[in-house]
Structure 1
């Protein structure tokens, strides 16, 4: 895996983001225009090749043309802020979770009232013995309201044999978490798993780190078992791509972003 080539979305390396629709600016692009009387803002959080310890915040009215709102907007007290993932919680705060280092067993958390000014909360140690890398945490809010983080974990001595796990917040303050649960059917050697739920089906987009393709699987349960529906170059994304992130558009469609890190 080559994570050294990840860049900002503006530089055509969009892995480093998670987007969410929240009320704000008026959209104009037909593919993502909000219904009459409503407005949508899509938010991107990202880091750069030149600094893995600074986070930048962009937003867009149409999920296509992004504008820098603040950068750097946040730097953790120590370590890195790779793969920052953002969502707006029921308490009104925006929260990010992120990769704290290339090696180790922690993920980081920070929060904000306005997406631009952030306060470090804590680093959380994943309670699995022998972890060597804890990468790409992604928020997943289930339809029952539960707040989950999906992560790519490995105990290998090198950056291989990753598997997807989830932890679930056990309080509304997002300070205590359930024991990690592996997502059955995804792995070994899959990274950057991103999940959305439509109806009763969980849809997982995840990079096969052996073939370098983003593959697609579904399950009736968040923890699986997942069944792969599409493999190889099924969507024409090409190989040597990773970090899929999906966002629903106002017209009912979906948009996927990913990192073409060899391009």
Structure 2
């Protein structure tokens, strides 16, 4: 495990690589308990850097989201279980040796959570705050009178805000203000990924989020990360078909690249000039597409 210097003396530090991809799946894409790290110079071709870099003692490791913090550590937040009310944060200096930081409870007094999925870091360029956006579902409610009907709860996006610089302390979950269409009120939405578009003066916050019923990734915008979020492109607007776990990065040429999991053993990407019009999804080359799952991509600005 790990990266070895090449014969030509290439740098073996994580900071030498333009892009870092945190994911899970192992060699078969089936392993839900290990962190895999890939690196790339162009965000197209990926090479394994640290397979099985971290394995939690008593939980899953799915949907790892990575940032490089001001303290020089890489931090990852990840899903811990299919059912439950927490997510975990780990950190590393070298992407190989990882240590637990904290397990964050998504439930609090008066607010119970049944499922906690896909925590995603967001560093707000305007406020400088560090957030984690996560999909939460509360327990189903049984209406005792008159007919003992069970009302199924749905996933909705919530936000946590770091309250300490070491990312060990977090605010309670706060539901994001998403303006649902009438038909979307009872539909689960998961895997919300937020990106800040500096040249969009009216609604610089853009998000891509999966409609868990239709299985399509949809596009929203807002004036702040708290909302109100408005759906702008829905259903299969980009003609990608069913996808999940979107992650978006702005490239050095100011264009954007999105990655997503297609459910069928393919991890794919597409490009856009403006976040509105996208080209066709393509598999990550080199056999990587069939091994990786929902993760995140960090562009390192040198």
Taking structure 1 as the reference length, the TM-score comes to 0.81
Structure 1 position 155, deviation (Å): 1.1
Q: 5 Å matches for 1:163-178?
A: 163-178=156-171
Alignment correspondent of 1:161: 154
Contact 2:160 2:172 (C-alpha < 8 Å) held by counterparts: yes
The answer for the alignment partner of 2:16 in structure 1 is 24
What's the secondary structure of 1:53's corresponding residue? Answer: strand
What corresponds to 2:227 in structure 1? Answer: 224
Q: In the alignment, does 2:208 pair up with 1:205?
A: yes
State the Cα deviation string for residues 62-103 of structure 1 (Å, max 9, x = none): 000000011110011210110011000000000000001010
| Alignment map for 1:78-89 (pairs within 5 Å) | 78-89=58-69
Aligned to 1:101: 81
**2:194 maps to 1:195:** yes
In 1, distance between residues paired with 2:178 and 2:46?
Answer: 35
Match of 1:47 among 24, 49, 70: 24
Matched-pair contact (CA < 8 Å) for 1:77–1:120: no
**Unpaired segments of 5 or more residues in structure 1?**
1-21, 26-40
Please give the root-mean-square deviation of Cα atoms over the aligned residues, in Å.
1.8
Report if aligned partners of 1:163, 1:186 keep a CA contact under 8 Å in 2: no
TM-score normalised to the size of structure 2? 0.71
CA distance in 1, matches of 2:178, 2:115: 20
In structure 2, the residue matched to 1:254 is 256
Contact 2:76 2:91 in 1 (8 A): yes
How far has the Cα of 1:57 moved from its partner?
Answer: 0.5
Other structure's SS at 1:176 match: coil
| Residues in 1 aligned to 2:165 and 2:249: alpha-carbon distance in whole angstroms | 24
What secondary structure is seen at the aligned counterpart in 1 of 2:43? coil
Structure (1 or 2) with the larger CA radius of gyration: 2
**Deviation for aligned residue 1:159:** 9.2
Segments of 5+ residues of structure 2 without an aligned counterpart are 1-13, 141-150, 181-186, 266-302
SS in 1 for 2:84: coil
1:26-48 Cα shifts (integer Å, max 9, x gaps): xxxxxxxxxxxxxxx11111111
- Secondary structure (helix, strand or coil) at the match of 1:47 reads strand
4+ residue stretches of structure 1 with deviation over 6 A?
none
Deviation, 1:156, is: 3.8
- Aligned-pair distance for 1:262? 3.7
Q: Is the 8 A contact 2:120 2:132 kept in 1?
A: yes
Q: 2:106 corresponds to which residue?
A: 126
